[in-house]
Amino acid sequence: MKKDQSLRRAADFDAVYKAGKVEGGRLLVVRSRPTDGTPTRVGFVCTKAVGGAVVRNRVKRRLRAIVTSLELAPGRDIVISARKTAADASFADLQRMLAALLKRAGAVAPPQGS
């Protein structure tokens, strides 16, 4: 992911937590908030409850790879939080869950030609 596609500042995360729409699943929680047309930015949260540093970083790498493969709608800030169960989930399970949650949150771009 490019730097302009990442949420980095605590104030940006706070804004999504306060005003964002929440969609939750067994493995992940997705918070999404519309912005003023800027490129979609994504941030990742993985607490110590998920596991040690190696496990948390593996989960975040997997989530980053999944996000880069998806076509996200422009003008959104998204925070993806991993639950404890994400540490033991397969890549395919994470991919299915994240795609479903982003679709429910309205953060996936509509198909081309529609």
Alpha carbon distance, N-terminus to C-terminus of the chain: 27
Q: Is residue 113 in some structural domain? A: no
Q: What would the pLDDT profile of 7-31 be if each residue is shown by its tens digit? A: 889 999 999 999 989 999 999 999 9
Q: What would the pLDDT profile of 46-79 be if each residue is shown by its tens digit? A: 999 999 999 999 999 999 999 999 888 888 999 9
Q: Is residue 33 in some structural domain? A: yes
Residue 38 belongs to domain spanning: 3-104
Q: Is residue 55 in some structural domain? A: yes
Q: Which amino acid is located at 9 in the chain?
A: R
Contact of 102 with 48, CB cutoff 8 Å: no
Q: How many Å apart are CA 78 and CA 40, to the nearest integer?
A: 8
Q: How many Å apart are CA 13 and CA 102, to the nearest integer?
A: 17
Count of domains for the chain: 1
Q: Is residue 46 in some structural domain? A: yes
Q: How many Å apart are CA 58 and CA 12, to the nearest integer?
A: 24
CATH, residue 66: 3.30.230.10
